[in-house]
Structure 1
C-alpha cells in the first residue's frame, strides 16, 4: 500500500468514527456521558457534543470552540470537567471534524454565523463562549453579533497581530497552503512523529486519532488560520460589551495576547506559566480558572 493509500485509509477510519459505536469507541470514556448531534447552518450541518445537566440554576451553557485544524475532540480531557460544573457544548467548526464545509475559504464572520445558527436551533437563550487560538476571534465575533445571546467570553490567546506578524505567520504556514491529498500523504511519515512529540500528554491511541482529525481534509487545513489572519481582533475587542477573560500561556501568542490589555471594555489578561497542553495536561487547572470566571457574574 503506497503512502497515499495509507493516508486515505486513515482518513476513512477517521470519518467512520463519526457514527455509532465506532465513534464512541474512539473517544473512549471522555465522551461516554455526552450526547452528539447536528444542527443546521447555511453550509449544511454543524456537529456538536453536548454534556452536563440539561439545566442548572445560575449556570448557562458553555460553548467550546476548537483551534484549527482539528475538531471538538481536542477538548476530550477538558469537557467532562466542565460538564461537572455546568451544561457544555463543543462544536466542530464548518470544514473541520464532522461539520459540513463551506464551498470556499470562509471568514471568521462565517464561522460565527454558523455557531449562532446552531445555538438558535438548539433554542439556547444565553451562553458563555470559549475560543481557542483561531476560534478566539470567532468567539469575539459571536459576542459582537449577538450581545443578547452571549453572557461571558473566555479566549485562549488574543490574536492581535501586526501586519508584519501576519506576513511571518503566513510564511510559517506556507507548507500547508495548497496541499493536495497526494502531497499531504507524502508528509505523513514526517508529520506523525512531530505530532506525537507535541502530544506526549495523550495516550498513543488518542494522539493518533487526533492526528487524523487534524489531517481529515488537508486541502482545507489552513482555512482557520487564513480566516483569523483576515480578522481584525484588535478592532473587535473594544466592540465587545461582555466581560472577557484572555488566558495567555507562555507560547508563541503571548506577545499578541498581552496587547489585549487596554483594548477591552471589561476584560483581563491572565498570564499562565505553561507553554503547552492548556486543555490536556492542564485541563483541571483550566476548568477551575474558567469556572471561577464564569461564576463571578
Structure 2
C-alpha cells in the first residue's frame, strides 16, 4: 500500500512553460504506452502499486501528476478542461511519447476524453476508470456547492476537515490510503476544487469519441459505479470490467487484477487502428491484399446508373445528378460533358472539406475560409517486373487553403481529416496522394 507521495517507482520531471511536471513510470521503452491521469485533488501515487504489474505484462505505464496536483507545479491560473487536455500532449511530447493509450479516472477521464478529441490520431485506445457524465442539473448543483475547500487553522483543525471529507467519500478504504490523501489535499492548497470546477463547466462530446477502442474499468464500489447505465449508453461498444470489492483505489487495492484487465486492453490495441470511422491506422496503410473491414452500420447509399461508358451519361437513382460524359481528348469549348476523374475529384474534395469541419470541431478550432481542391490524374503504371502490359491507375493531389488559420495548425487539421474522410480511408495504400497546405504565416 502506498503511504506517501513518493512511492518506489522510477520518477522524473519535465519542465514546461508553466513549471515542472512530475511523473512516475515503469516498463520497457518499446512497449505500448498507457498514459495515466488521476482523479483530483489526488496524484499519480494512486497508480504506484500497479506500475510494476503493468510492466510485467508488457506495458509501459506513465502516471502523471496533473499540473497543480501531487508534486507538479501549479498552472498559472484556473484552467478549463481543454487547457488541461492540451497540457497532456505537451507533457507527452516532453517525455517523448507519440501514440498512447489514455487512462483517466474521474476528473482525469474527462481530461483524457478531451485530449483524445484534440489529437485523436495519437490515441490507440481509451480507458475510463469512472467517467462523470453529469446532467446539466447535476453539474449546476455541484458547481454551486461541491468541495468548498478549507481554511488553515492554528490548531490544525483543517486537517480534521480534510480527514472527515476523505472518510465521507471513501468510508471503507484503509487508514494508510486515507492518510496519503490528506497529504495530497494539502499539496494542492485550500482551494482544491479548481479541477472539479473545470469538469462541472465542461460539456463532453461523447459521440465524437465513437470508434476509439474504449474500456470501462473500475472497482465495484467506485463512487461513479452508479453511473454505469449512463456511461454504457454513451459508449455502447465499450466493454465494462468491474473488479469486485474495489473502491476508487482499486489500482492500489488489487494491483494485479487491475493490471491484468488494463494490460489486456492495451495489448489488444497496441498496433491497432487509431479509432477513426473508416478504420484507417494512424500510421498509414491498408495495402493491397489486406481484407477490407466491413461496415458495421450503413448511414446512406447512393446509386448512380451509367450508360455508354466514358462518352455516355450518368444518372442518379437517389438524387438530382444527371450529366453527360465526354472524353477529355474529344471535349470542345462549351461541351457540357464531365468525366469519371472530375466526379471523383468533386466527391473527394467535398468529403475532405467536411472531414476538416469534424477535425476542427474536435480540436475546438474555428476555420475561416477553407477551400479544398482535388486533382485526379488518370495514367498508366508500369507492370510488375517490367513484363506484361501497363495498367491504368490514378493519382490524387489535394490542396487545402485557409488564409485565416496558422499553417502549422492547418497542417494538423489536415492530418486529422485524412483519418476521418471516407474517401481518404478507401484509397489509402492503393492510390498515391500528395497534399499541399496553405495557411496563415
* TM-score where L is the length of structure 2: 0.54
1:55 aligns with 2:27: no
CA distance in 2, matches of 1:140, 1:73: 21
1:136 aligns with 2:136: no
**Which digits, 9 at most, give the CA deviation of each residue in 1:134-190, with x for residues without a partner?**
1101111111111221101101112211112123334552432xx444499532134
Q: For 2:10, which of 19, 27, 35 is the aligned residue?
A: 35
- Classify the secondary structure of the residue corresponding to 2:251: coil
Q: Which has the higher contact order (CA 8 A, sep 6+)?
A: 1
The residue aligned with 1:15 is none
The residue aligned with 2:46 is 74
CA distance in 1, matches of 2:215, 2:244: 16
The residue aligned with 2:214 is 244
* Cα distance change on mapping 1:264 and 1:27 into 2, 3 Å: closer
Please report how far the alpha carbon of residue 228 of structure 1 lies from its aligned counterpart in structure 2 after TM superposition: 1.3
Q: Which has the larger radius of gyration?
A: 2
The residue aligned with 1:220 is 191
| 1:181-260 mapped onto 2 (5 Å cutoff) | 181-182=152-153, 185-192=156-163, 195=166, 198=170, 202=174, 204=176, 207-233=178-204, 235-248=205-218, 249-260=220-231
CA distance in 2, matches of 1:104, 1:183: 28
Q: In structure 2, list runs of 5 or more residues that go unmatched.
A: 270-441
Q: For 2:70, which of 90, 93, 97 is the aligned residue?
A: 97
**Which digits, 9 at most, give the CA deviation of each residue in 1:218-263, with x for residues without a partner?**
3331012111112223x23533541111225344423434213243
Which one is further off, 41-50 or 113-122? 41-50
1:64 aligns with 2:61: no
* TM-score where L is the length of structure 1: 0.77
Please report how far the alpha carbon of residue 53 of structure 1 lies from its aligned counterpart in structure 2 after TM superposition: 1.7
1:278 aligns with 2:253: no
Structure with higher helix content: 1
Structure with higher strand content: 2
Which one is further off, 149-158 or 181-190? 181-190
* Cα distance change on mapping 1:267 and 1:109 into 2, 3 Å: same
Please report how far the alpha carbon of residue 207 of structure 1 lies from its aligned counterpart in structure 2 after TM superposition: 4.3
* Cα distance change on mapping 1:147 and 1:292 into 2, 3 Å: same
* Cα distance change on mapping 1:291 and 1:275 into 2, 3 Å: closer
The residue aligned with 2:332 is none
CA distance in 2, matches of 1:184, 1:220: 19
Figure out how many residues of one structure are paired with residues of the other and give that number: 264
